[in-house]
Amino acid sequence: MNSTTLNAALPASVPFRQDAAVIGLVGMAHATSHFSHLLLAPLFPVFMRDFGLSFSDVGLLMSIFFVISGSGQAMAGFVVDKVGARPVLFGAIGLFLAASLVASAATGYGWLVAVAVLAGLGNAPFHPADFTILNQRVSAPRLGHAFSVHGLTGNLGWALAPVFLVGISALSDWRTAYLAAAVLYAGVLALLFTQRHLLKTEVVVRHADVPQESDLAFMKLSVVWWCFGFFFFSTMTLAVVQSFGPSILKAVHHASLEVATLTITAYMLCGAVGMAMGGFVATQTPHTDKVVAGAMAAGALLLLLCATGWLGTYGTLAGLAATGFAVGIGGPSRDLMIKKATPKGATGRVYGLVYSGLDLGFAVSPVLFGLFMDRGWYSATLTGAALMLLLAVGAALGVGKRTVAR
């Protein structure tokens, strides 16, 4: 039985409680993945002070993380399809735990590089593992809500990391904060292990007497690369907001540090609300590509409005928050769109490849738009982010067209 057909074979009367348990467990695991994206960044000022590092030094740590995560994600999909998602997921969280312990003992830059490597390796398998479990273990009528919760918990993981690490550092010190993070990962891993029967997935069984396609055959499908392009372009926009949103508010509208910092929090929280609502939209609308395209187009228009500078400090902050909401609405439909485009038996491989576009977007966007910011092109930076979302609109429609044609 392959990874796509198992979901279709689930009985229509799967208890809500069973689906909810699977969705909750996978959502909790996904939150640890996004938490780990920011395992180092919130404490960069501390590392620069204690270890005498430059902005380039700490910036390189994020590049290391996302390059390893992106390249590893594409390869991790093959492992998930071969051995199942559950052991890969457990191993990934174990790597996060190890990264936290190494961080707590860090005495110099080399230790921080090791943290970035371990965390990047841990992050790599999450999307192929998560979506393989959800596609196999959650009944089809509830998949839209499953993808909604998955995206929402990821946003909450992003929101928690700075508060958790900086808060504990303020109360004690940063080494204690990383030990607390290790305890957090250990607790999540222990809970998942006790409920491991809910996370078991089937793998593709190959019979020697039946001709088999190459494991790389899915890469010949143009729809897969349109999916990859969608994640690359849409993530470039998110990276602009995360990296430069507060700086743009401060430079253009002279916002205080406290108000400017609210940009990321507002974007993420509104994105989470949008994802929650988007789950209902996804379950009611068969044309997932059009939902995604409409949501991204609305976000692009809002960013263009913010780029004009007409909205002022709080208006721009509200506009960026509304952009997060619009993009969030399309999140669950986006994941259903990828599911429809995935060939049978290749769930892990396809999700691993297309979601590596997310990591590549995070790696490329700060470098590209950082050049704009260095030149004081603040409006152009937001305009560029809007154009990236419009390219994502085209990619989403391209996915829909090729999914039908395939």
Report the CATH number that the domain containing residue 33 is assigned in CATH.
Answer: 1.20.1250.20
Residues 226 and 193 occupy one common structural domain: no
Residues 84 and 121 occupy one common structural domain: yes
- What percent of the chain shows pLDDT beyond 70? 90
What distance in Å separates the CA atoms of residue 107 and residue 112, rounded to the nearest whole number? Answer: 9
Task: Quote the pTM value.
Answer: 0.74
Residues 137 and 236 occupy one common structural domain: no
Where in the sequence is the domain holding 300, given as residue range(s)? 217-405
Listed residues 169, 198, 227: the one ending a domain: 198
Whether pLDDT at 16 is above 90 = no
Residues 137 and 235 occupy one common structural domain: no
What distance in Å separates the CA atoms of residue 330 and residue 143, rounded to the nearest whole number? Answer: 14
Give the SS3 label for residue 51: helix
- Residue 10's pLDDT band, with cuts at 50, 70 and 90, is low
Is 10 within the bounds of a domain?
Answer: no
Is 4 within the bounds of a domain?
Answer: no
What distance in Å separates the CA atoms of residue 221 and residue 213, rounded to the nearest whole number? Answer: 13
Residues 122 and 253 occupy one common structural domain: no
Whether pLDDT at 46 is above 70 = yes
Average pLDDT over the chain reads 85
Is 222 within the bounds of a domain?
Answer: yes
Listed residues 165, 198, 231: the one ending a domain: 198
Residues 221 and 194 occupy one common structural domain: no
pLDDT of residue 6: 46
Is 150 within the bounds of a domain?
Answer: yes
Rounded average pLDDT over 247-252: 84
The count of structural domains within the chain is 2
Residues 188 and 234 occupy one common structural domain: no
Q: Classify burial at 204, counting beta carbons within 10 Å of its beta carbon; exposed 0-12, middle 13-18, buried 19 or more.
A: middle
Specify whether the CB–CB gap between 64 and 141 falls below 8 A: no
Residues 142 and 232 occupy one common structural domain: no
Give the SS3 label for residue 79: helix
